């Protein structure tokens, strides 16, 4: 019997240097989840790529995700879809975000267990506080898709916002500090229990 596969995919928050890491896990929340021992007996893959938006995930989905035949797919994407509006005048509408997010979910077999992680923003500047008007509709899309697909929702935006000083968790408002990654890993492990149950036994 082959070990069940858990595949994490997303942007830099997931990537965390995984392509320079001999284990391929990186040094962020994915590593912390694995180091917890909760995924012992699982094959764990990190397919995060820094800078990715949901359209980028869609473009590489077949090769990087579907081809691995994962039992569980965990997706964390969305903050770059907001960020590029403000730093590059290259917005992604909530409708485009939902279209591409739906497409990647529909490309997975119906038996794939899903963990959808809210994109999050912990504003450390006044300018970032204004990003909420763009990000909040995308968070709503993730929540809606999680409900429709009976996926686990990891309420990262809600949890991290309430967890303490923003700069202590993500010193630039977006990329977690070691403490931020630890908080995210702990939350992921708690919320993902239903999809992990029965696998790897």
15 is catalytic: no
Q: Which of 35, 90, 172, 190 is catalytic?
A: 172
The CA angle 101-104-110, to the nearest 5 degrees, is: 120
Q: Which of 11, 12, 15, 74 is catalytic?
A: 12
Using CA of residue 151, residue 152, residue 158, residue 160, what is the dihedral sign?
A: negative
12 is catalytic: yes
Q: Which of 50, 56, 64, 175 is catalytic?
A: 175
Contact predicate 170/176, CB 8 Å: yes
Residues 6+ apart with CB under 8 A from 72: 4, 5, 6, 7, 112, 113, 114, 115, 192, 195, 196, 199
175 is catalytic: yes
Q: Which residues are catalytic?
A: 12, 172, 175
């Amino acid at each position: 019997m082959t070990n069940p596969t858990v595949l994490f995919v997303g942007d830099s928050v997931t990537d965390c240097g995984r392509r320079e890491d001999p284990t391929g896990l990186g040094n962020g929340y994915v590593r912390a989840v694995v180091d917890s021992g909760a995924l012992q007996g699982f094959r764990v893959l990190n397919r995060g790529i820094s800078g990715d938006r949901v359209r980028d995930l869609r473009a590489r989905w077949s090769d990087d995700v579907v081809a691995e035949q994962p039992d569980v797919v965990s997706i964390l994407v969305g903050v770059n879809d907001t960020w590029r509006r403000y730093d590059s005048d290259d917005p992604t509408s909530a409708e485009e975000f939902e279209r591409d997010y739906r497409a990647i979910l529909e490309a997975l077999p119906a038996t794939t267990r899903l963990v959808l992680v809210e994109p999050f923003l912990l504003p450390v500047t006044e300018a970032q506080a204004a990003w909420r008007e763009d990000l909040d509709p995308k968070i709503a899309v993730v929540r809606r898709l999680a409900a429709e697909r009976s996926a686990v929702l990891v309420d990262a935006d809600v949890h991290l916002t309430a967890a303490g000083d923003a700069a202590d968790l993500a010193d630039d408002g977006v990329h977690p500090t070691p403490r931020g990654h630890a908080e995210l890993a702990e939350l992921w492990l708690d919320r993902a229990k239903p999809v992990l149950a029965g696998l790897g036994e």
